[in-house]
Structure 1
Amino acid sequence: MPEPVTLHGRTVRLEPLAEHHVEALAGAAAEDRGSYAFTPVPCGVEATRRYVADALTARAAGRALPFVTVRVADGRVVGSTRFCELDYWQGPVPWPPAPRGPLGPVATAVPDAAEIGGTWLSARAQGTGINTEAKLLMLRHAFETWGVRRVSLRADARNLRSRAAIERLGATLDGVHRAHSRGLDGTVRGTAFYSILDEEWPGVRERLRRRVDVRPSPTDSMRSLVPA
């Protein structure tokens, strides 16, 4: 399975999620929870401790590669994201098709397809460009280091804010699975599935680079967080 890695950007750093991030993550999630109606975000230190433990279990099983999102300007943890649904296509074709672990040595295996999910940011980090650069870092790692053929993203079909953010990345809507699963509010939800293919990556990369380049510098971003 892929080894944990730190991804460095101009305004954001993605570090491998670890137990020592629990309190900082809990603090980030507690700022203002008004935007988390469709997003599973832990509430409180104990819930965050379970959240981290579950993510580390998924990493140990080769199912996910979770990160904490760190704002470079002040080193503050402002959220989390992860690679998940890691899929390996080597060996005989399985039937029915389903994500599976590597058939060869686990330590050296890299996925052929992956999903980016579990993404959330603290209230004050939203809309600052951190998510855009974090996605650029993750997509670049997936396509240029792992050499994946596809990166997928998904959102509750009702979550228009998340869907718009995914579409701004340049991802293509593959479709909406109706009555796909139970939502956080307990109702049955549809799920919108998006993807970026390896042949689409160069265009998506340039689009994201332009968006990141026009963002303010880390110093200017920090000024914008200080009340007038």
Structure 2
Amino acid sequence: MPLPVYLHGRTVRLEPLAERHIEALTTAAAEDRSSYAFTPVPHGLDATARYVADALAAQEAGRALPFATVRVADGTVVGSTRFCELDYWQGPVIWPPAPRGPVGDPLDAVPDAAEIGATWLSARAQGTGINTEAKLLMLRHAFESWGVRRVSMRADARNARSRAAIERLGAVLEGVHRAHTRGLDGLVRGTAFYSILDEEWPAARIALEHRVGAERPAAAPERPLISA
């Protein structure tokens, strides 16, 4: 499974999610919560502890790579995001196709496809450019370090704000799965699915780098961490 890494940008740093982030995430999520109607964001210390525990369990199982989102200017934790739905295509072809874990040594494995999801920011961090640069860092890592063939994203079809943010990344709308699942409000919702393919990444990268105000964001090298 992919090793945890720090991803460094000018305005944001993505740190491997850990229990030490629980209190800061609780504080970040306690700001104005009116923008979370379609986004699962923990509320309160106990809920945040469970949120982190679930994310770390998914990481241990090789299904996810979660991050704490940190504002560089003051070191404040302002939210969370993660790679999820990691899919490995090595080994014999299976039919029907289904997501599967790595073949061989899991510590040496990197995914062939991934999804970026479970993203949320504190109210005061929204609209500051942090999300855009965080996505640039993650997409760069997925396509250029892992060498994935595709990165997927999804949103509640009713969530116009999230869908617009995904589209600004250069992601292509694949379609809307109608009556796909239940939303946070308990109503049956459609889900909009987006993706960026490896051959589309160079153009998307140029546009994203322009948006964050630099040809290439100043970044320290990614530092793999061997987890205990």
RMSD of Structure 2 on Structure 1 (CA): 0.6
In the aligned structure 1, how far is the partner of 2:85 from the partner of 2:119?
Answer: 14
In the aligned structure 2, how far is the partner of 1:136 from the partner of 1:55?
Answer: 22
Residue 61, structure 1, aligned to residue 80, structure 2: no
Shift of the alpha carbon at 1:95? 1.5
In the aligned structure 2, how far is the partner of 1:28 from the partner of 1:143?
Answer: 30
Residue 146, structure 1, aligned to residue 146, structure 2: yes
Residue type at the aligned position of 1:192: A
Q: Which residue is equivalent to 2:113?
A: 113
Residue 77, structure 1, aligned to residue 77, structure 2: yes
Residue type at the aligned position of 1:212: V
CA-to-aligned-CA distance 1:111-147 (integer Å, 9 cap, x gap): 0000000000000000000000000000000000000
Q: Which residue is equivalent to 1:134?
A: 134
How is 1:83-98 mapped onto 2 (pairs within 5 angstroms)? 83-98=83-98
Q: Which residue is equivalent to 1:46?
A: 46
Q: Which residue is equivalent to 1:223?
A: none
Q: TM-score, normalization: structure 1? A: 0.93
Shift of the alpha carbon at 1:179? 0.9
Q: Which residue is equivalent to 2:158?
A: 158
In the aligned structure 2, how far is the partner of 1:14 from the partner of 1:132?
Answer: 13
Match of 1:209, SS state, is helix
Q: Which residue is equivalent to 2:221?
A: none
In the aligned structure 1, how far is the partner of 2:84 from the partner of 2:44?
Answer: 24
In the aligned structure 1, how far is the partner of 2:88 from the partner of 2:104?
Answer: 10
Match of 1:35, SS state, is helix
Shift of the alpha carbon at 1:87? 0.3
Q: Which residue is equivalent to 1:190?
A: 190
Q: Which residue is equivalent to 1:217?
A: none
Shift of the alpha carbon at 1:174? 0.3
Residue type at the aligned position of 2:71: R
In the aligned structure 2, how far is the partner of 1:181 from the partner of 1:83?
Answer: 21
Residue type at the aligned position of 2:198: D
Q: Which has the higher helix share?
A: 1
| Greater relative CO, 1 or 2 (CA 8 Å, sep 6+) | 2
In the aligned structure 2, how far is the partner of 1:116 from the partner of 1:186?
Answer: 24
CA-to-aligned-CA distance 1:137-175 (integer Å, 9 cap, x gap): 000000000000000000000000000000000000000
Residue 206, structure 1, aligned to residue 206, structure 2: yes
Residue type at the aligned position of 2:141: H
Which consecutive unaligned segments of at least 5 residues does structure 2 have?
215-228
- Figure out how many residues of one structure are paired with residues of the other and give that number: 214
Match of 2:186, SS state, is coil
Which consecutive unaligned segments of at least 5 residues does structure 1 have?
215-228
Residue type at the aligned position of 2:139: L
Shift of the alpha carbon at 1:104? 1.2
In the aligned structure 1, how far is the partner of 2:154 from the partner of 2:99?
Answer: 16
Shift of the alpha carbon at 1:69? 0.2
Shift of the alpha carbon at 1:94? 1.5
Q: Which residue is equivalent to 1:226?
A: none
Q: Which residue is equivalent to 1:31?
A: 31
CA-to-aligned-CA distance 1:45-89 (integer Å, 9 cap, x gap): 000000000000000000000000000000000000000000000
Moved over 4 A (4+): none
